[in-house]
Structure 1
Amino acid sequence: MTKSERFEQGLKNRQEVVGAEYVERAYDKAGDFGRDFQDIVTEYCWGASWGRQALSRRDRSLLNVVILGTLGRNAELALHLRGALRNGVTVDEIRDALIHLSIYSGIPAGVEAFRIAQDVLNDWNAAHTDATEEKGQQQ
Structure 2
Amino acid sequence: MSDTASERYHQGMVTRRSVLGDAHVDRAQAASTEFDRPFQELITEAAWGHVWSRPELTKRERSMITIALLAALGQDDEVAMHVRATANTGASREDIREALLHVAIYAGVPAANHAIKIAKQVFEQMDAGKAA
Name 1:99's counterpart in structure 2: 101
**d(CA) in 2 for partners of 1:24, 1:31:** 13
Count, aligned residues: 129
Is 1:43 aligned with 2:45?
A: yes
Q: Shift in Å at residue 29 of structure 1? A: 2.1
Residue in 2 that maps onto 1:65? 67
User: Aligned pair 1:113/2:115, yes or no?
Assistant: yes
Which residue is equivalent to 1:123?
Answer: 125
Secondary structure of 1:119's partner?
Answer: helix
1:53 aligns with 2:55: yes
Could you say what secondary structure the match of 2:104 adopts?
A: helix
Q: Distance in 2 between matches of 1:84 and 1:101?
A: 18
- CA radius of gyration, larger in: 1
Partner of 2:17: 15
Can you list the C-alpha shifts for 1:33-69, whole angstroms capped at 9, x where unaligned?
1111101110110001111110010100000000000
Query: Is residue 85 of structure 2 the alignment partner of residue 83 of structure 1?
Result: yes
> Greater relative contact order (Cα 8 A, min sep 6): structure 1 or 2?
2
Q: Deviations over 1:13-41 (max 9, x none)?
A: 11111111211222222211111110111
Bigger share in helix: 1
Name structure 2 gaps, 5 residues minimum: none
Q: Aligned partners of 2:127, 2:58: CA distance in 1, in Å?
A: 24
Separation in 2, partners of 1:61, 1:120: 15
Distance in 2 (CA, whole Å) between partners of 1:16 and 1:129 is 23
Instruction: Could you list the structure 1 runs, at least 4 aligned residues long, displaced by more than 4 angstroms after superposition.
Output: none
How far apart in 2 are the matches of 1:92 and 1:50?
Answer: 21
Matched residue, 1:74? 76
**Structure 1 portions without partners, runs of 5+:** 131-139
Distance 1:82 1:75 in 2: 11
Deviation of 1:92 after TM superposition, in Å, equals 1.2
